[in-house]
Structure 1
């Protein structure tokens, strides 16, 4: 039983770190640019499709991942420079409507280019085997690779924001945009770099989850809801909060999907227990958000 719980916790950490990659870009964009970007999930979808296509074409998952992330970052920067930059001074309703329109356009464009059928890519051969961890307990090597990449990126992102000049610009723009401009910071360049970074993080998440989940049209909308939940739990504008919130959501999701059915089957018949457990496990994440907001209305690490 303890090994089973340990496995579920690892699954939760793996899923949580992927949510962190999505929510980190989302919280930076909202915290610095004060813009609600519903199209964030579309960049996740586009990145997943580009990485899958390049991987299937070249036969190299590493090349597909690197090239796909670079292309998605470029698409994100072009989108920010050509359209989203015009929305910074608009109200949030206008931002929501425009970025929702981008979702519809992106979904239709992806369907026209790749078709409506889902795309599947296989796990890289080097990471396809399981790795022994404790005694006879083994865990998939690719999932461990995802955890390692997520932790590495979290560390690099923390160093970027806290220890570099670009990070100083980002923190200055988030704290006081007008004063940062007066001190000579190129805020337009900062905004483009932040948006490109957010798009790259989305693509990494989409590419790493590609071998585990099917890549399909509209995949960004469902994951976007969870990313917003993470941002709210962690505190808007806080990357540290995004990491903490993502790990909490990931572990609650993993444990809820496995432990709630086991508990309910002890009291109810299996069909009813499974049906009720599915509903309760989905609600558990939002219950977590409600509890956190009741305790700390501004989130765990509000800026």
Structure 2
């Protein structure tokens, strides 16, 4: 494998990782602060993608499409939290799993009813449609570089929000001792709704960004949700830093595994068999990574006991 191809795959892994971070950051906040297992988080990712595709088709503006994805996912998150999730905080995790799984079905059928069963397509903005020449003769799509930049910027903003602001202090306190901050006069219901809306908006934003490089279709959020759960388990539940590091590890492991493993097996197997075996092991690689991390650090890389 050439060095240029390896660097391109590293960039692909980084792009995939920052997208996973946008998805998993909200998920880890919701689980860390509320103790809630939300299987419907992937549906909010789908809502953002469909909202962006619909607005882009109507207006031709990619900026408005991104704004629509944030707004639509946040509003959907608020409605879900107020109407359904609020009744699940004191229930056991099995009830939470069953209720949020039902929400997946409701979101999927509602989206199919509104937009139909055929995939939608979100065009890359003209300003980012070309390639960028990087040092070493590497040509890489400008839009994928923009996703990396946006994801890193969101990571910095989210870290500052959680660590340096009053609302961040309340979120961290709610994660540690929700009864105490309630006794100190903080409205727990409003805090929970705000956290859920923030997590939903991040998921919808991720869906809109990815919607321009793949089709927007019903059920697109569930595979990403699985990877997001793997990410927060590796990084540590409730940790934004852990979500970021875990997302990069999962993104790089998955992307490089799909490229390097078939090449490695191709040295002593026929090409078709090497491709099949390498692809199978690549799909397993992130779960092997998760098992390895949990073997030595059961709380995840940055999780607390």
Q: Deviations over 1:251-274 (max 9, x none)?
A: 001100111111111111111111
Q: Is residue 12 of structure 1 aligned with residue 4 of structure 2?
A: no
Shift of 1:298: 0.6
Residue in 2 that maps onto 1:24: 25
- Give the Å deviation of 1:136: 1.8
Shift of 1:70: 1.1
Aligned to 2:256: 255
Please say which of residues 291-300 and 263-272 is displaced more in the overlay. Answer: 263-272
Aligned to 1:94: 95
Alpha-carbon distance, 1:233 to partner: 0.2
1:66 maps to what in 2?
67
Task: After TM superposition, give the deviation of residue 68 of structure 1 in Å.
Answer: 2.2
Q: Deviation of residue 238 (structure 1)?
A: 0.6
SS in structure 2 at match of 1:218: coil
Q: Superposed, which structure 2 residues align to 1:290-301 within 5 Å? A: 290-301=291-302
1:196 corresponds to 2:178: no
Shift of 1:61: 0.6
Query: Secondary structure of 2:204's match?
Result: helix
* Alpha carbons 2:47, 2:69 under 8 Å: kept: no
* Separation in 2, partners of 1:134, 1:253: 25
Q: CA deviation at 1:36?
A: 0.3
SS at match of 1:246: helix
Tell me how many residue pairs correspond in the alignment: 303
| 1:120 counterpart = 2:107 | no
> Which residue of 2 is the match for residue 163 of structure 1?
164
**CA deviation after TM superposition for structure 1 residue 27, in Å:** 0.6
User: Which deviates the most, 244-253 or 128-137?
Assistant: 128-137
CA distance in 1 between counterparts of 2:45 and 2:162 reads 22
**Mapping of residues 129-278 of structure 1, within 5 Å:** 129-278=130-279
Provide the residue aligned with 2:282 in structure 1. 281
Deviations 1:69-106 (A, max 9, x none): 11210110111011110100000000000000000111
Superposition misfits of 4+ residues, deviation over 6 angstroms: none
Using the alignment, how far apart are the partners of 1:35 and 1:120 within structure 2? 33
Which residue of the partner structure matches residue 43 of structure 2? 42
For 1:221 and 1:63, the matched residues in 2 are separated by 25
1:300 and 1:52 map into 2 onto residues whose CA distance is 36
Q: RMSD in angstroms over aligned alpha carbons? A: 0.8
| Range with greater deviation from structure 2 (38-47 or 180-189) | 180-189
Give me the whole-angstrom Cα distance separating, in 2, the residues matched to 1:126 and 1:218. Answer: 30
CA distance in 2, matches of 1:185, 1:249: 36
Superposed CA deviations along residues 211-255 of structure 1, whole A, max 9, x for unmatched, are 111111111111110000001000011111000000000000110
Structure 2 CA distance for aligned equivalents of residues 48 and 67 of structure 1: 9
Question: Matched residue of 1:248: which SS?
Answer: helix
- Return the TM-score normalized by structure 1: 0.98
Q: Structure 1: where are the runs of 5+ without partners? A: none
More moved, 282-291 vs 133-142: 133-142
1:204 Cα deviation (Å)?
Answer: 0.9
Report what 1:106 is aligned to: 107
CA offset at residue 2 of structure 1?
Answer: 2.0
State the distance in 2 between where 1:42 and 1:80 align. 14
Question: CA shift at 1:19, angstroms?
Answer: 0.3
SS in 1 for 2:140: strand
